[in-house]
Amino acid sequence: MSDLNSVASISIGDSSGKLVKTLKPEKLLVLSSLSKGLYIINLKMIDGTTKSFKVIKK
């Protein structure tokens, strides 16, 4: 995973692409407020690039 200092923002979208939540960069992502399902975590980096990860919440 990337160095936390190079992450500008974190956004979470559902499987349809709808933005669900935006977070500050933190070492631990708490997803307890989300329903079960598939989510896409997007890390917007300081250099302008984006890294995406699929997450399944059970």
Express each pLDDT in 38-53 by its tens digit.
Answer: 999 999 999 999 999 9
Overall domain count for the chain: 1
Does residue 29 contact residue 23 with C-beta atoms inside 8 Å?
yes
Calculate ∠ Cα 56-19-53, nearest 5°: 40
Residues 18-30: what's their mean pLDDT? 91
> Is residue 5 classed as helix, strand or coil in its secondary structure?
helix
Residue where the block lists tokens 């399944």: 56
* pTM of the shown model: 0.82
Range of the domain at 30: 4-57
2 pLDDT band (50/70/90 cuts)? low
